[in-house]
Structure formats: C-alpha cells, structure tokens
Amino acid sequence: MRFQFEDIGGVSTRYLAGGEGSPVMLLHGVGLSADSWMWTVPALAQRHRVIAPDLLDNAFTAAGGYKGGPPQPHTVDHIIALADHLGLRRFSLVGSSLGAAFALHTYFKIPERVGAIVLVGPSFVLARPQEGFDMFEGPYRNGLTALQNPTYEGCRSRMARGFFDPSKVPEALIAMQMLLYAMPGARENFERRLAGLRSPAARAFDLYDRLRSVKVPVLLISGDQDHRGSFEVIAEDAKRIPDIKLRLYRQCGHWPHVEYPDAFNRDVLEFLNP
C-alpha cells in the first residue's frame, strides 16, 4: 500500500494504491480524504488492484479547472481521467457518503466500464428531492466547525459525529484531519465546494429519478445510527435500483468502513467475488 502523486490531466493528484487483480476505486465523502480508506485498502488489495484518490479539490489533490458551481461533473471527469491514466478499462466503485453519489454519476457517464458499485452510508444522496430542503446543511456546518478550529479537540468532535461509538474514531484519522484543515486555503476550498453542492444548479445532479436505470450489481451498507438518515428511508429509496443487496450494521454510524472495518471488508470482498 502506498501513496502516489501524479499529474492527471493537468491536476496534481494524490492517491493510495495497492494490490493486483480486478480494479476497485474508493471514493471518500465530504471533508475527508483517501486516508479514510486506510483500513479498507490493505484488505481489498489481497484480491484486487485498489485505488483511493483524494478527490478533485480535496486534501492534496488540486482543483484543476474547477472554480465553483456544482462539483459533480468536474469530479467525475477527474475520476475517469485517473482511471484512464492507470489503464483501468473496467473497474468497480466504492463510494462513501457523497462519494456514493460520485460513484453513481461516474457509472452513468461510463456505464460500460463499471462492473459493480458499493454505496456506503449514502443517506440523503439517494433521496427524492424535497423543495426547500438543504441536504448539505449538516455536512457544511459540521465541516466548517472543524475548519474554523483545526485542533485535536475540534477535529475529533467533527469525526465523532459520524460514529455510534466515538471511542472508535482512529487517532490517525484525527491527525490527518488536523493537517488537512490547517492547510492554506482549506476553508475557502471547502466553502466553494459546499456552495456548489447547495446551489440551485446542483438540482440537475439529483439521482433519485435515475436509480431504476442502474444495470450493474449494487451493495448498500449503512449503519442503523447514521445521523444523516434512517436505514428504513435509505433502503426504500435504494430499492429503486434493480439489482441491489442491503446490509445494515447495528450500533454503527455514518462511516461503516471505519467503525467496523473487518465486517465491511468481508462483506465487500464477498460481494465483489461471489
């Protein structure tokens, strides 16, 4: 397992890589980075070639041509550019939280190249749009609080909101959050992305009405204590996807892959290798 920095279509990009076999790309959520997959990559790399990038305009990956507005099309283009650069003709996608939305948007752009999708804690990204409902208000306020105070206590508090058991928040992830949130421009970049996600133009990227057209196998893993949305609501929306399997983790929050890494890695490997 190693971190690499490469120029991807003119964008300085950091990604975590390891293993050999059929490729799998891991996509992180709001305010996180490839480091959130540190407990996933080694396990999946036993049978797969695994790539976990810092997504466009996140962590150590530059913004490229993205200057504002909905980040979805720019992020998807960067994901595809990375896959092209690495020679991934066909690959599977694992997306956490907003990364789940990016996984689906990538599939819709290149459906012939995506073999399977794992949606991790997708919560509201699959939901039917609600007039006047700002689905990113919670992530915005949570992330902004930590960015304004990138101390150990501030970053730990931010991470703990995504866990059922705060004692399971990894110290390494807190340390990385402290580093990333203290970097020059981190707050401005975060606010730019979240402004784009919360803008009226972002409604063009709602997924609810497109879920029935997903034609590849999908696994959804969610915690029963996810503060971003109840499993019952998430599951009802997700059942619009024709070939989907659902896994509920008990006493688990928004990041099952970090709170229960052993169970998560086992379930994903079983799904990708039936």
pTM: 0.95
Counting beta carbons within 10 angstroms of the beta carbon of residue 112, is it exposed (0 to 12), middle (13 to 18) or buried (19 or more)?
exposed
pLDDT band at 132 (very low <50, low <70, confident <90, very high): very low
Per-residue pLDDT tens for 25-65? 999 998 899 999 999 999 999 999 999 999 999 999 999 99
Domain range summary for the chain, segments of one domain joined by +:
2-272
pLDDT band at 130 (very low <50, low <70, confident <90, very high): low
pLDDT score for 134: 58
Grouping H, G, I as helix, E, B as strand and the rest as coil, residue 60 is coil
Percent of the chain with pLDDT over 90: 78
Tell me what the pLDDT averaged over the chain comes to: 93
Range with the poorest average pLDDT among 55-59, 80-84, 96-100, 139-143: 139-143
How far is C-alpha 131 from the geometric centre of its chain's CA atoms?
Answer: 25
pLDDT score for 145: 76
Domain at 2-272: CATH architecture: 3-Layer(aba) Sandwich (3.40)
Per-residue pLDDT tens for 159-192? 999 999 999 999 999 999 999 999 999 999 999 9
| Polymer length in residues for the chain | 274
**Radius of gyration, alpha carbons of the chain:** 17
CA–CA dist 46, 4 (Å, integer): 19
